[in-house]
Amino acid sequence: MNIKVYSTGGSELRELSLEEAVFGLPFNEAVIWYAIQNELANQRLGTACTKDRGEVHGSNAKPYKQKGTGRARRGDKKSPILVGGGTVFGPKPRDFSYSIPKKAKRAAIKNILSLKIRTETFKVVEDFSIESGKTKDILKILKNFTINERTVILLKNDDPKIKQAGRNIPWLKFLSYNRLRAHDLFYSRKVIALETAVKNLNVFYGNAEGVS
């Protein structure tokens, strides 16, 4: 399987070979859903908290006597059925994170990459960097491939200059080839990968013994 490599100006340069085991898999909705749900759960803070009747500030005394008033029985002012009382079965701080098998994570990433190839939303661009770190310089390149669409750029390494240039663009995200996120990849409208990043993906995800 081959894919075209483009210059930063948008013209075709050459073709690059893609590993079938990474970019040629059939669509597997279940494994993608599994990985995305795991990522979202791991991002949850789990800090929501409510007070039950034992934690609400107030007296434990009966507000009035049990009998003879014609009113309903009352235990104390902290009862959940009274305004200002405790909450029944409310949320408490908890950890929502959990682990899934590494093979499942890798399978999800490879399925998403294969999907992007089939839908022709995956573009390979020659290696570039933004030495100035300015937003206008990266926009000059992006306008040849996408504009105002949710876009992910796959980097060959952790390039601080190119990230600095794109940090003010709300629809743009950066991912390193060895630290991909299923959610960002799947929901992106366009994926722009540097040429070396794609070569690294061929090796990193093509190797059955590798880990992500």
Please check whether residues 63 and 164 belong to one and the same domain: no
Please check whether residues 134 and 77 belong to one and the same domain: no
Average pLDDT of the residues of the chain:
92
Please check whether residues 39 and 56 belong to one and the same domain: no
Q: How many residues in total does the chain contain? A: 212
Please check whether residues 195 and 124 belong to one and the same domain: yes
Instruction: Report whether pLDDT(42) > 90.
Output: yes
Please check whether residues 62 and 12 belong to one and the same domain: no
Please check whether residues 126 and 25 belong to one and the same domain: yes
Please check whether residues 67 and 167 belong to one and the same domain: no
pLDDT band at 1 (very low <50, low <70, confident <90, very high): confident
The HSE-up count of residue 80 (CA atoms within 13 Å, CB side) is 9
Share of the chain above pLDDT 70, in %: 98
pLDDT band at 175 (very low <50, low <70, confident <90, very high): very high
Give the pLDDT confidence of 60-103 residue by residue, as tens digits: 899 899 999 999 998 898 999 989 999 999 999 999 999 999 99
pLDDT at 157: 86
How many domains, the chain?
2
pTM: 0.84
pLDDT band at 209 (very low <50, low <70, confident <90, very high): very low
32 falls within a domain:
yes
Please check whether residues 86 and 170 belong to one and the same domain: no
What angle is formed at CA 101 by the lines to CA 99 and CA 103, rounded to 5 degrees?
145
Please check whether residues 71 and 136 belong to one and the same domain: no
Give the pLDDT confidence of 127-162 residue by residue, as tens digits: 999 999 999 999 999 999 998 999 999 999 888 999
Closest CA to 197 of 181, 212, 182, 177: 177
CATH of the domain at 37: 3.40.1370.10
pLDDT band at 206 (very low <50, low <70, confident <90, very high): confident
Q: Containing domain of residue 83, as a range?
A: 50-90
In the sheet that holds 190-194, the strands lie side by side as 12-17, 2-6, 122-125, 190-194, 151-155, 172-176
Please check whether residues 28 and 120 belong to one and the same domain: yes
Please check whether residues 123 and 153 belong to one and the same domain: yes
Please check whether residues 109 and 30 belong to one and the same domain: yes
Q: How far apart are the first and last CA of the chain?
A: 23
pLDDT at 199: 94
pLDDT band at 211 (very low <50, low <70, confident <90, very high): very low
